[in-house]
Amino acid sequence: MIFRPSIKLSLALALLAFVFLRLGFWQLERKAEKTRLFEQFDNAPTRQIGPALLQGRRFTRVEAYGHYDPARHVLLDNKIFNGRAGVHVLTPFMLQDGRQILVNRGWLPLPPDRRSLPQVHSDDELRIIRGRLNTPSTGGPRIGDADTLVRDNWPQLVTYLDLDSVAEVLDVPLEPWLLQLDPQDDSGFEDRQWRAAFMGPEIHSAYAFQWFSIAAATLIIWITLGVRRAQLLSKNPPGN
């Protein structure tokens, strides 16, 4: 088989193949990171909330004694559950030693017209709650102005969670963690099947396979075009 690829085409396709390969290896790196993250989630220790906050280890299973703020709730918008739009209910929880931590109690639906907010049933009875410590998500790149919170209008709907802003409007210091309430806790709502991350390691494997497949397709295109060019040159040699 005669093979005479164009130099310019070879350089262009080589550059594309390099980019696709690099993206594939990057996805494998992300897979390794996610694998470690999910292992950390699955193997997280169980602690009382005080030692857990001092240790500061993400995903730690904790048990806390105290009470909810019965009136002031932050509703984190744009949470989809079973195809329905809704919010995650974030309620301050006062620990026995006076410290406060924000608790993600799960999902509630929003009305389709969004003219009213869901009713959050809560009380200030002393109780033991269980859950996991997690770092508050930044929600990715932010579009538009930051949410404006006010002191005397509860519950309040926010698009992004900013603990400093919430602490300021609550007028209390908050621990720099979010407690994700255990699915079995009866003080929570729906959708509390917490995970280490939204996308698992297997998703990155699939993306890596796609990028490597595209790189392989680039190689096939280079070979095919090189063979066709050789055939054309053999039929019409330069100078004829």
**CA distance linking residue 238 with residue 240, whole number of Å:** 6
Q: Is the pLDDT of residue 140 over 70?
A: no
| pLDDT score of 44 | 93
Kindly report, residue by residue over 97-115, the tens digit of the pLDDT.
Answer: 899 999 999 999 998 777 7
| pLDDT score of 29 | 96
**Exposed, middle or buried, 232 (CB in 10 Å: 0-12/13-18/19+)?**
exposed
Q: What is the mean pLDDT of residues 56-75?
A: 94
| pLDDT score of 144 | 53
| pLDDT score of 40 | 93
Kindly report, residue by residue over 1-31, the tens digit of the pLDDT.
Answer: 576 777 888 898 899 999 999 999 999 999 9
Q: Is the pLDDT of residue 143 over 60?
A: no
| pLDDT score of 225 | 81
- Identify the residue whose tokens are 């579009």: 143
pLDDT band of residue 236 (cuts 50, 70, 90) is low
Strands 46-48 and 100-109: unpaired
How many other CB atoms are found less than 10 A from the CB of residue 238?
A: 5
| pLDDT score of 139 | 56
Task: Identify which of 191, 134, 181, 194 has the alpha carbon closest to the alpha carbon of residue 161.
Answer: 134
Which sequence spans correspond to the domains of the chain?
7-37+201-235, 60-181
Enter the pTM of the model: 0.80
**CA distance linking residue 117 with residue 109, whole number of Å:** 9
**CA distance linking residue 165 with residue 158, whole number of Å:** 11
Q: Is the pLDDT of residue 233 over 90?
A: no
Cross-strand bridge partners of residue 132: 61, 180
| pLDDT score of 211 | 96
Q: In whole angstroms, how far apart are CA 32 and each of 20, 37, 58, 170, 211? A: 19, 9, 18, 39, 17
DSSP 32-82: HHHHHHHHHHHT--EEEHHHHHHHT-TT-EEEEEEEE-SS--EEEEEEEET
The 3-state DSSP class for residue 93 equals: strand
Lowest mean pLDDT segment, chosen from 72-76, 172-176, 234-238: 234-238
Q: Above pLDDT 70, what percent of the chain? A: 91
Between 150 and 107, name the one with better pLDDT. Answer: 107
